[in-house]
A and B are shown apart, each in its own frame.
Chain A
Amino acid sequence: EAGVAQSPRYKIIEKRQSVAFWCNPISGHATLYWYQQILGQGPKLLIQFQNNGVVDDSQLPKDRFSAERLKGVDSTLKIQPAKLEDSAVYLCASSLGRGRGIYTGELFFGEGSRLTVL
Chain B
Amino acid sequence: SQQGEEDPQALSIQEGENATMNCSYKTSINNLQWYRQNSGRGLVHLILIRSNEREKHSGRLRVTLDTSKKSSSLLITASRAADTASYFCATDASNAGGTSYGKLTFGQGTILTVHP
Residues of chain A having any CB pair with chain B under 8 Å: 4, 31, 33, 35, 40-45, 48, 50, 55-56, 91, 93, 95, 97-98, 103-112
Contacts and interface: CB of A to CB of B under 8 A. Distances in A.
B42 A45 contact: no
B108 A55 contact: no
Given A41-B108, A42-B107, A105-B48, A110 B102 contact: no
B78 interface: no
A111 B102 contact: no
Contacts of B31: 105
A80 B107 CA distance: 28
Contacts, number: 64
In the A-B complex, the 5 residue pairs with the smallest Cβ-Cβ separation, listed nearest first, are A109-B42, A42-B106, A109-B43, A106-B45, A43-B106
A50 B44 contact: no
B104 interface: yes
B88 to A, nearest CB: 5
A50 B102 CA distance: 10
B71 to A, nearest CB: 17
Contact of B43 (A43, A55, A97): A43
Contact of B2 (A4, A31, A42, A109): A42
Contact of A108 (B45, B100, B103): B45
Given A41-B108, A42-B88, A91-B43, A105 B2 contact: no
A42 B42 contact: no
12 contacts: A35-B106, A40-B108, A42-B88, A43-B106, A50-B101, A55-B101, A103-B102, A105-B33, A106-B33, A106-B45, A107-B33, A107-B43
